[in-house]
Amino acid sequence: MSAPLAERLRPQNLDQFIGQKHLVGEGAVLRRMIDSGRIPSIIFWGPPGVGKTTLANIISHTLHAPFYQLSAINSGVKDVREVIDKAKNARFFDSAAPILFIDEIHRFSKSQQDSLLSAVETGTVTLIGATTENPSFEVIRPLLSRCQVYVLKSLEKNDLEVLLQRALTEDPLLKERKITVKESDALFRFSGGDARKLLNILDLAVAADSEEELVITDRLVTERLQENPAAYDKGGEMHYDIISAFIKSIRGSDPDAAIYWLARMVAGGEDPRFIARRLVILAAEDIGLANPNALLLANACFETLQKIGWPEGRIVLAETTLYLATSPKSNSAYLAIDKALAKVEQTGNLPVPLHLRNAPTSLMKELGYGSEYKYAHDYKDNFVQQEYLPGELKRSRFWEPQSNSSEAKMQEWMRKLWRDR
């Protein structure tokens, strides 16, 4: 049985690598490091199927460095230490440091990450970590400070077109078939910028037809995927599609759909912290001021998961999911910060009004810093009308309360204080 198409077409050098021109294109930062023969420890952050593992292998081959690979899912501290000992023994005087590649490094515990520190700091190994999660949240600060973080992007349509043509013309098995791509929209849409997924879908479409001649259409691709939806997605779970359905169900106030998609993720082995983090974001973005307790509960859910672990953590996720789904919704905070950011981009660094400035020195006091500031607590209702925005933005509005009981009360209070503003 032949290897999957994605494995058969795995690039062996940077000239064969598709995408990520901002990192490995001619003259790009990572390309220059690789060409120089010396690279720092690196963390690749990006969605699945964009080349994180492939780049690590290419770097190892180019530098002629020993390559060790661990998966954070099934490796412990003992495995890390064993690999580091092997790396020490494999190192020669002026040779490149052995490369230790850790897939899904965001799943490593603090103790597992701690066990890497000394080897990375002393140069015993060059660490290359791969993660789909923001390393600022998932990688301990001492380790993160010793690594360069590079962001990999989903492949663009042009990249996918190049990959598709390469598969049809260079793969030993496919080039023997008479394959015509009449329509490619479904191929690219279902792949979602994921090179591996594109090749798996193509593999599925070709394998399901034994005829020597094959015409690929959008209908053919869709039918093949409906017959076997798990064939093109790691672990049989459409990771990003399901989390999208989950978030949209909560945003749409459908608790039954939300709990169903949560169950799909739990059954599929999704990282509970990934789910909890999305709930925290959703509580702020989609519920916001309509129910400020939602953010408190979502954050408590995230922290509780760290304490009690799994499988009991599923109950905490379920409670939070149902609470958020049944909460009133508002995105006024989300819209307000984006509106304010747009104004900042438009107007630049406007000066802070003198009466709002701090005056820690006598010179600043002489210049009038803070001299006309009115201390709100000295006035009735702990409020006094004064201007808090730069003069150029006087009376600008960024927050627009939405129609829910919580924000209605806020709006009523603001009207009482500010009257006609």
CATH number at residue 395: 1.10.3710
The count of other CB atoms within 10 Å of the CB of residue 230 is: 11
Where on the phi/psi map is residue 164: left (φ > 0), alpha (ψ -120 to 50), or beta?
alpha
Domain boundary among 216, 235, 254: 235
CATH number of domain containing 257: 1.20.272.10
Domain boundary among 266, 291, 326: 326
**Domain tally, the chain:** 4
Residue 39 and residue 147 in one domain? yes
In a domain, 82, yes or no: yes
Which one-letter amino acid corresponds to residue 167?
A
Residue 38 and residue 142 in one domain? yes
In a domain, 343, yes or no: no
Residue 99 and residue 185 in one domain? no
Integer CA distances (angstroms), 130 to 70, 76, 84, 182, in order: 11, 17, 18, 36
CATH number of domain containing 114: 3.40.50.300
Cβ neighbours of residue 18 closer than 8 Å, sequence gap 6 or more: 11, 51, 155, 159, 162, 163, 166, 195
Residue 63 and residue 121 in one domain? yes
Lowest mean per-residue pLDDT among 26-30, 44-48, 155-159, 175-179? 175-179
In a domain, 2, yes or no: no
pLDDT tens by residue, 282-294: 999 999 999 999 9
User: Which residue range(s) make up the domain with 357?
Assistant: 351-418
Tell me whether strands 213-216 and 42-45 are parallel, antiparallel or unpaired. Answer: unpaired
Domain boundary among 235, 260, 293: 235
pLDDT (0 to 100) of residue 388? 81
Helix-helix angle 313-326:272-282, to 10 degrees: 20
In a domain, 3, yes or no: no
Place of tokens 């043509």: 165
CA dist 306 and 70 (Å) reads: 23
pTM equals: 0.59
Residue 73 and residue 144 in one domain? yes
Helix-helix angle 293-308:272-282, to 10 degrees: 170
pLDDT tens by residue, 298-350: 999 999 988 888 788 899 999 999 999 999 999 999 999 998 988 888 888 88
CA dist 139 and 306 (Å) reads: 15
pLDDT (0 to 100) of residue 364? 74
Helix-helix angle 313-326:255-267, to 10 degrees: 150
